Amino acid sequence: MASSSNSFICVIILLITSFGHVHGCYESIISFGDSLADTGNLIRLSKSNKIVASSVLPYGETFFHHPTGRFSDGRLVIDFIAEGMGFPLVPPYVGVMKNMSRSKNSLRGVNFAVAGATAVDISYLEKRGIKNPATNVSLGTQLEWFKQMLPILCDSPTSCKEFLENSLFLMGEIGGNDYNHPFSQGKSGEDVQSFVPAVISAIGLAINELIELGAQTLIVPGNLPIGCSASYLTIFKNSNKKEYDDSTGCINWLNDFAEYHNQLLQQEIHKLREIHPHANIIYADYYNAAMQIYESPKKFGFTSTIVACCGGGGPYNYDSKRPCGSPSSNYCDTPSSYVSWDGVHLTEAAYKLIAKGLLQGPYTIPQMNNGLCNKGISDQ
């Protein structure tokens, strides 16, 4: 990591991979994913008579002071990555398309992530009796949007080649809803685990297609420790203490499930690296970046880890019938001391620590190196 005395050096290194590739600053950020990355697509896609939780306070209250469509009290991991690399916040695709005449020349990224989106196509879940109550958008849908928009982002084969090579692609997080929906609709752990290979395959196919289009650098996040989620802790609450981790209060078998997904995802990434040795495919270890918080909350300034700041009551302050933002919900006075925001998503404070763990280490494989275009994350 370069010291301040070396800050005048013109040539910098941002990423160093085990394959010996070196990359400097990026010109654009392209993002895909679900509600962990959505910066406002779902609220713009939803019908006018359907209220989306992220469109009402207290969503957005901490940083923006108004709802933006983000499912948190403030910024998300993608926002901190953008800020840490000196980019403006990445705008949502639907908003960009509605204001294209004004925004085309100033675009430095587009976010295609949609809250509720799945990695697999909606038909895969429907054939298994599972409904997606939020959206019919999948990772494949988002990839199609990107391909349709590419001629707008670059206007010639040469400029498109340069654009793709010099863009940083964030692949989610995606895949969590492929499990959230069936789990919440009564499917067993064994049933849902059988979906994992299809989910990983969908993510792998999308990565492969982007690389074949010309993408060079992709960050691929794994799943969070869902056994620490207030929603899962509420759904699967039971009196068997052996199912819970003594130190964190998280449900062990659900965290094992998340690690199984992450293991298969890393195996898929390894295969893709062998097929595309010129590409930088970076695994973002969301699981362990979050687990450090659950295991040592006081170290990071948190007083509550598994109880939601905003929710409808109960032991974990989560009630799917009285979600955060509804008239009968309650929310805490200090979101920055909570890890869980609404029982499903995390607070800005938690996302900030996860982002720091990615940009400054050690939670990416290969490690991201803190060069000049990785300016770090401010304390604000």
Catalytic positions, written as ranges: 35, 342, 345
Beta strands in 14-67 (DSSP E): 15-16, 22-23, 28-32
Interhelix angle 348-359/77-84, nearest 10 degrees:
50
State how far the Cα of 240 lies from the Cα of 218, in Å rounded to an integer: 41
Asked whether 256 and 196 are in contact (CB, 8 A), the reply is no
The residues, ordered by sequence, that sit 6+ positions from 299 with a Cβ below 8 Å of its Cβ are none
Does residue 356 sit in helix, strand or coil? helix
Helices 157-165 and 139-153, interaxial angle, to 10°? 130
**How far is C-alpha 93 from the geometric centre of its chain's CA atoms?**
16
What is the Cα–Cα distance from 219 to 169, expressed in whole angstroms?
6
> From residue 308, how far is each of 162, 338, 340 by CA, in Å?
44, 7, 5
**H-only helix segments in 166-251:** 177-184, 189-193, 196-213, 230-235
Query: Is the peptide bond preceding residue 335 cis, with omega within 30 degrees of 0?
Result: no
Strand partners, 332: none
Q: Which two tokens stand for residue 274?
A: 């062998």
| Token reading at 154 | 């670059």
CA separation for the pair 231, 10 (Å, rounded): 48
Return d(Cα 114, Cα 300) in angstroms, integer.
Answer: 30
